[in-house]
């Protein structure tokens, strides 16, 4: 992330330490709707009842939830956020409150809606691209979406926006697939930063065959990151999280630091599981038995290496170590 944002995050972390807060959010996954214009095989979000798919979160509710949590960063997802009629207003109001905002999108609707947004130093698009043309179109179950996403990225870049990408990998991906798509996004498309994730085994997703196990994930990334490639890619992750993906170290889950707020409330315990909802972030933190979750504690967590559980753990380990802080600062 840009230096200015890293400094802000460091200040936020220092403040939590001074206030002796043990659990606090780094980033909220805000889902102001569940509806989407695609039906990806690996999606665990769109299998909601029809009445819920029609609902849109009011702007005031979205902003109040983020304010209550105190999080410095917000990732707006869904569903497809560009199907929310006031999504631009939600973004504007969060930026006015000095939040760092990422707007996740499959980019199909982006060209039609780009004029509603203005480039801002704390705003970035986060475009979903799971692979090169054939692989991405298979992942989103529609031909032509890769080309639409690439065209939308170029349009947004040309209009002066920061553009990041988010790529999810499945057991059908080889290390060469990982290398090819990251090389393309980094060198050819020239996006600002890239986020990567092993797919989480959503019980509600239509495709139940292609989830990665922990050892498969480690092998996939160990091979993909070999020969110094990891250093050249502009990955939007801390070095320790990438070490974690490669299996060089293990971390405990800290899902309370990247909570999810949707039309249903604060999701317990995380964006991926669904053990009920709390009315406020404070209630979520205080009424969840966090020791019951994470690998080794809950069978549903057994294969999870998702960033919502483990990137905060890597960030906390980084700021607690001078050596790791220097590594993060130089991007290795
Ligand atoms: S684009 Fe995102 S929200 Fe829409 S179906 Fe695909 S994974 Fe789900
Ligand atoms: S390990 Fe953590 S982030 Fe992953 S599913 Fe379990 S609680 Fe959620």
SS3 call for 231: helix
Q: pLDDT in tens for each of the 332 residues of the chain?
A: 777 888 888 899 999 999 999 999 999 999 999 999 999 887 877 888 999 999 999 999 999 999 999 999 999 998 999 999 999 999 999 999 999 999 999 999 999 999 999 999 999 999 999 999 999 999 999 999 999 999 999 999 999 999 999 999 988 899 999 999 999 999 999 999 999 998 876 666 566 566 778 899 999 999 999 988 899 999 999 899 999 999 999 999 999 999 999 999 999 999 889 899 999 999 999 999 999 999 889 999 988 998 889 999 998 888 776 666 666 766 65
Quick one: which ligand is closest to 291's CA? Answer: 2
Of ligand 1's atoms, which has the minimum distance to the CA of residue 36? 4
Distance (angstroms) between ligand 1 centre and the Cα of 37 equals: 8
Nearest CA to ligand 2 atom 6: 301
Which bound ligand lies closest to the C-alpha atom of 313?
2
Q: Is the pTM of this model over 0.85?
A: yes
Each residue of 152-172: b (16+ CB within 10 Å) or e? bbeebbeeebbbbbbbbbbee
Intra-chain end-to-end CA distance of the chain, in Å: 13
Extended beta strands in the chain, E state: 27-31, 73-76, 100-105, 123-128, 162-169, 193-198, 260-262, 265-267, 277-278
Ligand 1 center to 224 CA (angstroms): 25
28 class by beta-carbon count within 10 Å (0-12 exposed, 13-18 middle, 19+ buried): buried
CA 230 to chain centre: 19
Residue to probe by mutation, ligand 1, list 140, 146, 165, 168, most atoms within 8 Å of CB = 140
CA of 304 to the centre of ligand 2 (A): 6
- The per-residue pLDDT for 24 is 96
Torsion angle, CA of 105/108/114/115, rounded to 10 degrees?
-140
Q: At what angle do helices 322-330 and 307-319 cross, to 10 degrees?
A: 120
Radius of gyration, CA atoms only, the chain:
18
CA 172 to chain CA centroid, Å, is 21
Strand partners, 29: 75, 260
Atom 5 of ligand 2 has which residue's CA nearest to it?
301
3-state secondary structure of 162: strand
- Ligand 2, pocket residues at CB < 6 Å: 253, 255, 269-270, 272-273, 293-295, 301, 304, 306, 308-309
CB of 40 closer than 6 A to ligand 1? yes
């Amino acid at each position: 992330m840009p230096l200015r944002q890293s400094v802000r995050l460091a200040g936020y972390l220092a403040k939590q330490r001074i206030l002796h807060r043990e659990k606090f959010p780094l980033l909220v996954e805000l889902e102001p709707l569940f509806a989407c214009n695609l039906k990806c095989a690996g999606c665990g979000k769109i299998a909601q009842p029809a009445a819920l798919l029609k609902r849109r979160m009011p702007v005031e509710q979205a902003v109040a939830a983020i304010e209550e949590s105190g999080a410095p960063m917000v990732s707006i997802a869904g569903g497809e956020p560009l199907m929310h009629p006031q999504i631009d207003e939600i973004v504007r109001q969060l930026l006015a409150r000095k939040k760092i905002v990422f707007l996740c999108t499959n980019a199909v609707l982006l060209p039609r809606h780009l004029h509603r947004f203005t480039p801002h130093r704390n705003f970035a698009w986060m475009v979903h691209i799971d692979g090169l043309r054939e692989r991405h179109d298979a992942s989103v179950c529609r031909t032509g979406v890769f080309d639409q996403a690439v065209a939308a990225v170029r349009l947004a870049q040309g209009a002066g926006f920061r553009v990041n990408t988010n790529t999810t990998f499945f057991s059908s991906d080889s290390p060469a697939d990982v290398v090819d798509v990251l090389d393309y996004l980094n060198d050819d498309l020239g996006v600002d930063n890239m986020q990567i994730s092993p797919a989480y085994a959503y019980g509600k997703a239509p495709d139940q065959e292609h989830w990665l196990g922990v050892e498969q994930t480690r092998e996939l990334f160990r091979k993909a990151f070999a020969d110094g490639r990891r250093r050249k890619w502009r990955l939007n992750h801390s070095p320790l999280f990438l070490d974690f993906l490669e299996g060089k170290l293990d971390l405990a889950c800290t899902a309370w630091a990247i909570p999810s707020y949707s039309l249903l409330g604060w999701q317990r315990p995380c964006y991926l599981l669904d053990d009920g909802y709390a009315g406020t972030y404070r209630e979520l933190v205080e009424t969840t038995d966090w020791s019951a979750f994470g690998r080794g504690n809950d069978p549903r967590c057994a294969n999870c290496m998702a960033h919502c559980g483990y990137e905060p753990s890597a960030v906390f380990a980084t700021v607690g170590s001078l050596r790791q802080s220097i590594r993060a600062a130089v991007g290795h």
